[in-house]
Amino acid sequence: MAEIGVGDVAPAFELPQAGGGTLSLASLKGKPVVLYFYPKDDTSGCTAEAIAFSGLKPQFAKADATVVGMSPDSVKSHDKFRSKHALAVELVSDADKKVLEAYGVWTEKSMYGRKYMGVERTTFLIGPGGKVARVWRKVKVPGHAEEVLEAVKGLQTSSQH
C-alpha cells in the first residue's frame, strides 16, 4: 500500500462514531479536518493525546476545523474512553481496519523483539478541498496537538491569499 502524502486526496470513509451514528469524511468537506490515528483507547499515550486535542477544541473550532480520532477499538470502548476522560473530540471506530490500511497506518510494529500488527500514531491535516495538507508520522504526544493547531491556523492564512 502506497503511503498517503501531502497533495494526495484523503481516502474517503464513513464509520460508526462514539455517541451513535456514523461520521463520514464527505460530511466534513469544505472545512479543515485533523484526522489522528492512535493505537488503543485508555492507554497512557493515547489518553494524553486525546486530552490534549480535547483541551484545544475551542481553538480548533475557532479555526473551523474538526478533530477526529480513529482506532480499531469498538464504539463501546470509545464511549467509555470519552466518558472517563471527558473527551471533546470525535472518535470513530475502524474495527475491520480498512481505513487504517487505506491511510497506511496499520503497520508491523515490534515490542520486546516480538513483531505484531498495530496502528502507527499518525496525524493527517486534510484541507477544505479534501486533499492532505500535512502529515505527522510516528507522533510524539507532548506538544503535538499545539503543533497541529498552528498548522491549521497556517492553512487558514494561506487560503486567504
- SS3 of 81, please? helix
- As a whole number of angstroms, the distance between CA 13 and CA 102 comes to 10
- As a whole number of angstroms, the distance between CA 142 and CA 133 comes to 22
Look up residue 99 and give its three cell numbers: 481505513
Q: Could you say which of 15, 25, 33, 46 is catalytic?
A: 46
Look up residue 56 and give its three cell numbers: 484545544
- As a whole number of angstroms, the distance between CA 152 and CA 161 comes to 15
Please list, in sequence order, all residues whose beta carbon lies within 8 angstroms of the beta carbon of residue 89, skipping any fewer than 6 positions away.
50, 53, 54, 57, 67, 68, 69
- SS3 of 61, please? helix
117 is catalytic: no
Question: Residues with catalytic annotation?
Answer: 46
